[in-house]
Structure 1
Amino acid sequence: MSELGLASRREADEWISRGWVWVDGQRVTELGTRVTPDQHITVDPAATSRQAEQVTVVLHKPIGYVSGQAEDGYEPAVVLVTERNHWRGDTSGRRFRPEHLRGLAPAGRLDIDSVGLLVLTQDGRIAKQLIGQDSEVEKEYLVRVQYEAAGAHPGPLPEVFPAADLERLNHGLSLDGKPLLPAKVWWQNEDQLRFVLREGKKRQIRRMCEAVGLKVVGLKRVRIGRVVLGDLPPGQWRYLGPDERF
């Protein structure tokens, strides 16, 4: 059921236990029941109705908040998801309810020193789409940098930074002994790079930049798939719209 995108694994277990799943017209209540590719799975409307009630939140995370569990005295970003911080420009039509916080978890990381688009969701299907092992959803970042060698060569960074190192940022670097997937990296302006990645290793962009002599002084995620940060103010959030897809 998870592979077909019908439900997350946790949801599938719950639906089966509740008797909400049929295979070729026969109700299935035993977890781990094997299904062949030619068999047809159907689910009770009650299951899809419950699934439709799950929410996904788009948050503009400021500096000083961690993505997941609280650590080293820093609060998790989910504490910002309150009625007071709900963006007035939200066009989803949803109104905040306390139950929307139940099981709301980050679908991906954004480190404490970074800002921008963070997704939190109750929907296991979206979490799998964004952070699953086979995810190919693009993440886009604006990265302000300093070049360690620029002091000896004053001028705009795109002019003094070696073209070969820019090529390495696009493809050719490794982290933790494993080659990185090809990226898209180009100069946005004289001291800012734009990164588009299809993976998200811990502090990946900062470590990539360090490998070519660049120091990251500001990092902002502006897009995940087809969902953009847009005009969402720092510290505020909105619901993912019914017609939005990553």
Structure 2
Amino acid sequence: MSEPVRLSKRLIEQLGCSRREAEQYIEGGWVTVDGVVVEQPQFKIDGQQVALLPGARAEALEPVTLLINQPAGMDAESARASIGMDNLSQAHSQDVRPLHGHFARLACVAPLERGATGLQLFTQDWRVTGKIERDLRKLEQEYIIEVRGQASPQALERLARGITRNDRELPKAKASWQNETHLRLALKNPQPGQISELCASLRLEIVSMRRIRLGGVSMGKLPLGQWRYVAVTERF
């Protein structure tokens, strides 16, 4: 009886390819074992049928950028750990073929303030990380903030001109009422605590805040706790 062998080794034997090429075929989702795609080169097989899918390419995976609608009570690390095949938004699952390799080496960029929910961004692409870090000061971020209290349109307009609180200049912000209890706020590069200070200046108490946009990338109708790929055509 033969000993089980690694899937990558069996593929090398069948194709006469290099070890790296075998790993790229497997990690790219091009290899099936008895008709089921297996993405782990170390997967042990015995007598199963190993085959390549049509169009198979031995190429390194292109880096991806993912966006999750982070729920309350979750930090960036637990949000990253929650990303998997089972919570990919079905409405956004047609553009990219999801692979397990897309969940490795994800870095959080422009992280949410502690206690905030909504748009949290993770990327494998150093070019995306570099661009966001360089442009963060001028990237507008948009929040929906549930508040207690009332503020007049004139008070909201003052935020657009810039205000000072406790001898500190706060960032200019565009603010409008979405409804009686939710404020829509857009500002550039808010530092921890600054949104709270802006609301406090209006005598508004924050109940919750949710980020819905970072630069030109919007969360859209992404369900809570689910994620999607950021398309290459989207621009921060």
The normalised TM-score by structure 1 is 0.63
Indicate if the aligned counterparts of 1:173 and 1:180 stay in contact, CA closer than 8 A: yes
Correspondence for 1:57: 66
Q: Does 1:128 align with 2:130?
A: yes
Q: Does 1:66 align with 2:75?
A: yes
Q: Does 1:146 align with 2:148?
A: yes
Q: Give the 3-state SS of the residue equivalent to 1:132 in structure 2.
A: helix
Q: Does 1:137 align with 2:127?
A: no
Which amino acid in 2 is paired with 1:240? V
Aligned length: 178
Q: How does 1:12-27 map to 2 (within 5 A)?
A: none
Q: Deviations over 1:23-82 (max 9, x none)?
A: xxxxxxxxxxxxxxxxxxxxxxxxxx86x8111001110001112x4xxxxxx2101211
Shift of 1:210: 2.0
Indicate if the aligned counterparts of 1:107 and 1:130 stay in contact, CA closer than 8 A: yes
Indicate if the aligned counterparts of 1:171 and 1:180 stay in contact, CA closer than 8 A: no
Residue among 188, 191, 203 paired with 2:178: 188
Q: How does 1:68-217 map to 2 (within 5 A)?
A: 69=77, 76-91=78-93, 93-132=95-134, 135-147=137-149, 157=150, 161-162=151-152, 165-174=155-164, 178-217=168-207
Which stretch of structure 1 is more off in the superposition, 57-66 or 118-127? 118-127
Indicate if the aligned counterparts of 1:142 and 1:195 stay in contact, CA closer than 8 A: yes
Residues 180/112 of structure 1: CA separation in 2 closer, same or farther (3 Å cut):
closer
Coordinate RMSD, CA, aligned: 2.5
Q: How does 1:211-226 map to 2 (within 5 A)?
A: 211-226=201-216
Which amino acid in 2 is paired with 1:66? D
Shift of 1:120: 0.8
Stretches of structure 1 lacking an aligned partner (at least 5 in a row): 1-48, 70-75, 148-156
Residues 133/225 of structure 1: CA separation in 2 closer, same or farther (3 Å cut):
closer
Indicate if the aligned counterparts of 2:159 and 2:173 stay in contact, CA closer than 8 A: yes
Shift of 1:134: 5.5
Residues 97/177 of structure 1: CA separation in 2 closer, same or farther (3 Å cut):
farther
Q: Give the 3-state SS of the residue equivalent to 2:178 in structure 1.
A: strand
> 1:206 & 1:191 partners in 2: Cα distance?
15
Q: Between Structure 1 and Structure 2, whose CA radius of gyration is higher?
A: 2
Which amino acid in 2 is paired with 1:65? M
Which amino acid in 1 is paired with 2:200? E
Q: How does 1:26-41 map to 2 (within 5 A)?
A: none
> 2:189 & 2:136 partners in 1: Cα distance?
10
Q: Give the 3-state SS of the residue equivalent to 1:244 in structure 2.
A: coil
Which amino acid in 2 is paired with 1:193? L
Shift of 1:204: 2.5
Q: How does 1:3-18 map to 2 (within 5 A)?
A: none
Q: Deviations over 1:203-246 (max 9, x none)?
A: 32123212332111121111222222122110000111232222
Shift of 1:164: 5.3
